[in-house]
Amino acid sequence: MKTYEDIGIQIPRIYLPRKGTDLTKWAVIACDQFTSEPEYWQEVENIVGKAPSTYNLILPEVFLEKPGEEARIKIIQEKMHQYLQTNILESREGLIYVERTVGGRTRRGLLLSLDLECYDFTKGSTSLIRATEGTIVERLPPRMKIRIGAELELPHILVLIDDPEKTVIEPLEKSKGTLKKAYDFELMLGSGHLTGYAVPEILEQQAVASLRRLAKPEIFAEKYGIGADKPVLLFAMGDGNHSLATAKAVWERMKPDVGLDHPARYALIELENVHDEGLIFEPIHRVLFGIKKDLFTSLKTHFGLQISYTPCTGPEEMVRLVDEASGGTQVLGVAGGGRDFGIIAITHPSSNLPVGTLQEFLDVFVKEGGADKIDYVHGEEIVLKLGAQPGNAGFYVPGMNKSDLFKTVILEGALPRKTFSMGEAREKRFYMEARKIV
């Protein structure tokens, strides 16, 4: 495989289902979606039936650390071996240009492998590939159990580049009429359409040259108005932060035994341009389950005179007030928690982003037994639905401007965890392609 160590990428050998496979049944959504909606995954299982599917090769997080987990992991690894041995999968070496159309928008991506030697997810990292949010290392061990011993990886990881001149991915869109399609089909359960094109070597070289230009220290420094001594950030995590961190943790464990020339050194990802018009940053809302203490008393105790609560006439007013808020006071919506709908306003916040200020409170509240658990959900409808259920509370949080991402990470480090999502739940990446990691 061709590697470009200066920009931390490898041209992968990608495995796709052989011709004749029902691709709508083959591809399923990222495992970390619909974690509070097991009925979604039951519907997936019903659709797939006995057909070859990536559903058999991944562990939806709705089942993570639940009874039967070990048996599921064993079956996943057996299925990987079976699919390889029975030629359900076919391989080709090269990049794949991807288009995903959903909700009236099309976003564009490029499938390639990143060098985990160039990635560091720890706080304060200055590596070429960086996390954009805090990584919870306690979440890695159960995910590592799935990857250790697996023959294949299937990516739902989306990584971003800051390419305002659109030099890396967008030229492939202009050439797609001359490219061979690798797949072209409708995704299940209203998640849109997915098309992939095999990228020939001449266009591959153009993309590599454009990435190299973005990684030049002088261009990097001028773009962000920083000193030339600042280490280059070329690749910033978009979605799948803990999946890439899991791949890194497994690689560091393996490396002393296998050496540097091993496929597990790399991770397959989809690269997207933060300036793609089809790419929308959506806020990730919070839901508390099983509340045991008075939520609003606890908020007042935590924030003191900095917090105020205002009831709203309904969810529409709550959402509007949060979305229209500006200035130094941070505004968040609350659904449930013993009341109907309202907003909380926080002055002199502890974090630059409302979600960060809120998260500091939620972590303490759950740790001290105020609620059974917290979940992170996508979309206005689901946070309102879950928050309104007895014993729950939903927090509707404002989004962030995607154009601020790179500069914020460069100057301030990783954002609070679960700050943003690249689209809502049904827009998340589907498992389609695989790569051998043994």
pLDDT digits (tens, 9 = 90+) for 108-124: 999 999 999 999 999 88
**Is residue 241 located within the same domain as residue 163?**
yes
What is the CATH classification number for the domain harbouring 328? 3.30.1760
Average confidence (pLDDT) over 150-177: 97
The pLDDT, as a whole number, for residue 58 is: 97
**Is residue 276 located within the same domain as residue 289?**
no
- Confirm whether 305 is domain-assigned: yes
The pLDDT, as a whole number, for residue 309 is: 97
The pLDDT, as a whole number, for residue 197 is: 98
Partners of 420 in beta bridges? 283
Residue 262 has pLDDT above 90, yes or no: yes
The pLDDT, as a whole number, for residue 350 is: 86
Nearest Cα to Cα of residue 22 among 64, 59, 51, 60: 51
**Is residue 305 located within the same domain as residue 253?**
no
- Confirm whether 199 is domain-assigned: yes
Q: What's the length of the chain?
A: 438
Task: Give per-residue pLDDT as tens, 221-235.
Answer: 999 999 888 999 999
Residue 22 has pLDDT above 90, yes or no: yes
- Confirm whether 77 is domain-assigned: yes
Q: Which residue has the higher pLDDT, 54 or 407?
A: 54
How much is the mean pLDDT over the chain? Answer: 95
- Confirm whether 115 is domain-assigned: yes
Residue 128 has pLDDT above 90, yes or no: yes
Long-range contacts of 100-105 (CB under 8 A, 24+ apart): 100/192, 100/193, 100/194, 100/278, 100/427, 100/429, 101/192, 101/193, 101/194, 101/195, 102/187, 102/191, 102/192, 102/193, 102/423, 102/426, 102/427, 103/192, 103/423, 103/424, 103/427, 105/277, 105/278, 105/280
Residues whose CB is less than 8 angstroms from the CB of residue 203 and which lie 6 or more positions away in sequence, other chains included: 171, 172, 175
Cβ–Cβ under 8 Å, residues 387 and 319: no
Report the run of H or E that residue 105 belongs to, with start and end: strand 105-115
Task: Give per-residue pLDDT as tens, 32-62.
Answer: 999 989 999 999 999 999 999 999 999 999 9
Q: CA-to-CA distance for 4 and 271, rounded, in angstroms? A: 16
**Greatest CA separation for the chain:** 66
**Is residue 255 located within the same domain as residue 290?**
no
The pLDDT, as a whole number, for residue 382 is: 94
Residue 401 has pLDDT above 90, yes or no: no
**Is residue 276 located within the same domain as residue 291?**
no
Q: What band does 424 get if pLDDT is binned at 50, 70 and 90?
A: confident
User: Pairing between strand 89-93 and 96-102?
Assistant: unpaired
Share of the chain above pLDDT 90, in %: 86
- Confirm whether 387 is domain-assigned: yes
**Is residue 268 located within the same domain as residue 289?**
no
Partners of 422 in beta bridges? 281
Task: Give per-residue pLDDT as tens, 270-302.
Answer: 999 999 999 999 899 999 999 999 999 999 999
Q: CA-to-CA distance for 274 and 254, rounded, in angstroms? A: 33
Tokens 């974690």 found at: 35
Q: What band does 217 get if pLDDT is binned at 50, 70 and 90?
A: very high
- Confirm whether 156 is domain-assigned: yes
Average confidence (pLDDT) over 128-151: 92
Domains identified in the chain, total number: 2
Residue 210 has pLDDT above 90, yes or no: yes
Residue 249 has pLDDT above 90, yes or no: yes
**Is residue 185 located within the same domain as residue 80?**
yes
**Is residue 112 located within the same domain as residue 169?**
yes
Average confidence (pLDDT) over 403-431: 88
**Is residue 270 located within the same domain as residue 147?**
yes
- Confirm whether 417 is domain-assigned: no
Specify whether the backbone of 157 is left (phi greater than 0), alpha (psi in -120 to 50) or beta. beta
- Confirm whether 192 is domain-assigned: yes
**Is residue 187 located within the same domain as residue 276?**
yes
**Is residue 351 located within the same domain as residue 370?**
yes
Domain of residue 29, residue span? 3-280+423-436
Q: CA-to-CA distance for 136 and 148, rounded, in angstroms? A: 19
Tokens 């035994």 found at: 257
**Is residue 271 located within the same domain as residue 333?**
no
* Number of continuous H segments (helices) and E segments (strands) in the chain: 13, 24
